[in-house]
Structure 1
Amino acid sequence: MPNQIVVAGALIDGATLLVAQRERPAELAGLWELPGGKVAAGESDAEALARELDEELGAVVTVGARLGADVALGGGMTLRAYLVEHVSGTIRARDHRALRWVTADQLGDVAWVPADRGWVPDLAAALGSR
């Protein structure tokens, strides 16, 4: 079975990062993540992430550099994150319970989905470099 890539976007605005609260599945509901989704056949990671963030947030973004290392998920899936820049659109929760902006100092207090928790040091570094 081919590996399914799942992409996540670290949208940083000034000194804050956008995090999204999961609505589903039940075991992840209420936890926070970097928004994103699955790469479809024929899409690049950047194309998929731009599409997913438009669908989930109403945001047009430019996809930048990779963030951190790939994370192996169950079921033959690999999660990878990218820095993204908001270009246009009003950001709102379309597919999540809530959205919030957090600072580097607040990253450790976020109830992350397990797959995203490992990126906290990379996110802190990205926020600190702004």
Structure 2
Amino acid sequence: MTVRVVVGGALCHEGRLLAARRSAPPELAGRWELPGGKTEPGESVPDALVRELREELGVETEALERIPGEWPLKPGLVLHVWTARLLSGVPAPLEDHDELRWLGPGELDSVDWLDQDRPAVAEAGRRLSIG
């Protein structure tokens, strides 16, 4: 079976991490995630992240580095998380989300993250604390 990568963006700006609250599907609505989406055939993971953040949030970003690990979402889908830098624009919840929050290192536990995002969020938080 071919495994398709879903890329999540640990979008960091001014020492904070962007969290996005899902509005759909119903089983995920109200929980928080790192924004992103599925790679297209032939598309690199960093390119997919930049495209997805443009589509979902209306911002231009640069993919920086992959956070180690991968997390299964469902059969045939696996999550990879990359750190990203905001180049231009102000993030807005355009698709799949109804609220965005910038969270500092001490605020990461203030939202109900999707289970598969938690390990990457913890690692992104460690990097925020150092950076």
Is the 2:12–2:85 Cα contact (8 Å) retained in structure 1? yes
Identity of aligned residues (%): 39
Counterpart amino acid of residue 40 in structure 1: E
- Root-mean-square deviation (CA, aligned residues, Å) is 1.0
C-alpha distance in 2 between matches for 1:87 and 1:59: 8
Is the 2:83–2:124 Cα contact (8 Å) retained in structure 1? no
C-alpha distance in 2 between matches for 1:21 and 1:37: 14
Aligned twin of 2:31: 31
Cα offset, 1:93, TM superposition: 0.9
Secondary structure of the 1:119 match is helix
Counterpart amino acid of residue 125 in structure 1: R
- Mind listing any 5+ residue stretches in structure 1 that lack a counterpart? none
Choose 120-129 or 54-63, whichever is displaced more. Answer: 120-129
C-alpha distance in 1 between matches for 2:121 and 2:45: 21
Secondary structure of the 1:101 match is strand
Cα offset, 1:6, TM superposition: 0.2
C-alpha distance in 2 between matches for 1:57 and 1:23: 14
Give TM-score, length-normalised by structure 2.
Answer: 0.94
Aligned twin of 1:117: 118
Secondary structure of the 1:84 match is strand
Equivalence map 1:43-82=2 (5 Å): 43-82=43-82
- Mind listing any 5+ residue stretches in structure 2 that lack a counterpart? none
Spell out, residue by residue over 1:82-102, the C-alpha distance to the aligned partner (whole angstroms, 9 max, x if none): 010111123211011110111
Cα offset, 1:109, TM superposition: 2.3
C-alpha distance in 2 between matches for 1:121 and 1:26: 25
Is the 1:108–1:120 Cα contact (8 Å) retained in structure 2? no
C-alpha distance in 2 between matches for 1:108 and 1:116: 12
Counterpart amino acid of residue 10 in structure 1: A
Aligned residues: 130
